[in-house]
Amino acid sequence: MEGMPFKLPLDVPVSELAAGEKQKLEIAKQLYLGRSFLVLDEPTSVLTPGEAQDVLGLLRAMTRSKWLTVLMISHKFHEVTAFADDVSVLRKGRHTGSGKVSALDHKAMAAMMIGDQPITTLDSRTPHDASAPVVLAVKSLRAPDRSGLKSINIESLDVRAGEIVGIAGISGNGQKEFLEVLAGQRQRQAGEITVKQAPYRATRVQSRELNVRYIPEEPLSNACAPRMTVAENLSFRTFDVDESGMPVNWISMSTMRAYAQRLVSQFRVKTASLASPIASLSGGNVQRAVLARELTGEVDLLIVSNPCFGLDFSAVAEIRARIMKARNKGAAVLLMSEDLDELLELSDRILVMSEGALVYETPTAAADVNTIGQHMAGHA
């Protein structure tokens, strides 16, 4: 690990690592094993800008020294142009073009990636009212991390209606535990969480009454029942109430299917059938299905974690557009992401989480990537 440009906890079971930490571990493991050929799928999606440069620079030096051959799968044009020699593009499982990186520009690569399919664009960012009501407030929050030896400490965090507050940080710095506390999946030791000035314990009744929605990382395992059908997963929030929100005495499968069909059409979820297990969908379509469920109806608070992790170019654009649309409709959005480009594109304010605490804040309009990266790495 001393030769790696990132650090990992060596005394924590792999099953307890965050998604980003698992990815870093796999990179380190393969290099340690002395592989001569590596296949890397979005290898920098969970690294700081500095770490990404260091990791890809290390791999580039090894390839130039003839020690290593790398096949890298990435949707980040600047990484492809900076570190790759040749590029090939796949679209819907088909090869659509290849060439020397030096002979292609971003426009040519994008055309190969999406063809004539229109890319969803972000809505224009509506002006944010600094006096808008606070929807989510966190004060003096303390909770144990997964090791039980350290705590996350959030002194103060407010998210107002109609704004996106982004939380940047290297995977494993408390973001996962913070989200679990907000979702009611981890017990807090101290502190206060309020939603619309009401004490919040993240019960199903409260989340329904206060219009709180969650989109966690790895949605198939954290927001779905994988073996249940697409229709059933889409109906988790509504199966036991009628259109007015009143409890029903009898669960109607036909009503569930009709509701699910409407969401599948509106959010363009590609599935062979509403009766298919949701685990049979691609990662992008699982994410679309979770978005459809969580963003349908009134949303006052949206808590999102790494919404575009590992998704393709088109799915990323669509999901980011949906989040921006929710913000423009007045939702307060807390966006935790290890993709700094995503935070810079979507957020009104960016905070950095390091060692379980919020250590830096900046308006996005005044954000400096290097400064954010230094705080993420704990070097500021």
Please state, for a pLDDT cut of 90, what percent of the chain lies above it: 44
Residues 203 and 330 in one domain: yes
Angle at 155 between CA 151 and CA 51, to 5 degrees: 65
pLDDT of residue 34: 85
Let me know: does 165 contact 347? Beta carbons within 8 Å.
yes
User: What's the pLDDT score for residue 241?
Assistant: 85
Mean pLDDT, residues 262-288: 92
Strands 349-354 and 198-199: unpaired
Tally the residues of the chain.
380
91 CB burial (10 A radius; 0-12, 13-18, 19+): middle
- How large is the average pLDDT for residues 162-188? 91
| Domain count across the chain | 2
- For residue 70, the 8-state DSSP code is E
Contacts of 105 (CB under 8 A, 6+ apart): none
Domain with 300 in it: what CATH number? 3.40.50.300
**To the nearest whole percent, how much of the chain has pLDDT over 70?**
93
One domain for residues 145 and 274: yes
Tell me the pLDDT band of 213, cut-offs 50, 70 and 90. Answer: very high
Binned at pLDDT 50, 70 and 90, residue 92 comes out as confident
Closest of 337, 222, 227 to residue 287, by C-alpha: 222
Q: Are 135 and 300 in contact (CB under 8 A)?
A: yes
3-state secondary structure of 229: strand
- What's the CA gap between 135 and 155, in Å, rounded? 17
Q: What is the pLDDT of residue 48?
A: 66
- Interatomic CA distance for residues 166 and 159, integer angstroms: 10
Specify if 140 maps to a domain: yes
User: What pLDDT sits at residue 376?
Assistant: 86
Q: List the one residue out of 307, 301, 295 whose CA is nearest residue 132.
A: 301
> Are 184 and 203 a contacting pair, CB within 8 Å?
yes
Per-residue confidence band for 53, with pLDDT thresholds at 50, 70 and 90? confident
Query: How far is residue 299's CA from residue 276's CA, in Å, rounded to a whole number?
Result: 28
What mean pLDDT is predicted for residues 343-356? 93
In this structure, are 249 and 359 located in the same domain?
A: yes
Q: 29 and 175 share a domain?
A: no
Extract the runs of DSSP E, i.e. beta strands, from the chain: 37-41, 69-73, 86-91, 94-100, 134-144, 151-160, 164-168, 190-195, 198-199, 212-215, 301-305, 332-337, 349-354, 357-363
Half-sphere exposure of 19 (CA within 13 A, CB side): 23
In this prediction, residue 114 has a pLDDT band, given cuts at 50, 70 and 90, of low
- Cα→Cα distances 30→14, 26, 69, 250, Å: 16, 6, 12, 54
Please indicate, yes or no, whether residues 168 and 76 belong to a single structural domain of this protein.
no
Specify whether 261 is located in the same domain as 329: yes
Do 209 and 64 lie in a common domain? no
Whether 207 is in a domain gets the answer: yes
Tell me, yes or no, whether 112 lies in a domain.
no
Summary mean pLDDT of the chain? 87
What average pLDDT does this structure show over 316-339? 90
pTM given for the model: 0.76
Measured in whole angstroms, the distance separating CA 285 from the mean position of its chain's CA atoms is 14
Q: Does residue 114 fall inside a structural domain?
A: no
In a domain, 127, yes or no: no
pLDDT: is 166 or 295 the higher one?
166
Tell me, yes or no, whether 169 and 309 share the same domain: yes
User: 347: domain range?
Assistant: 134-376
Q: Tell me the average pLDDT across 291-301.
A: 91
pLDDT of residue 232: 96
Q: What is the pLDDT of residues 115-140, one digit of tens each?
A: 665 555 666 788 888 899 999 999 99
- Cα distance between residue 358 and residue 152, in whole Å: 9
Which stretches within 74-131 are classed as H helix?
77-83, 106-114
Q: Residue 174: how many CB atoms within 10 A of its CB?
A: 25
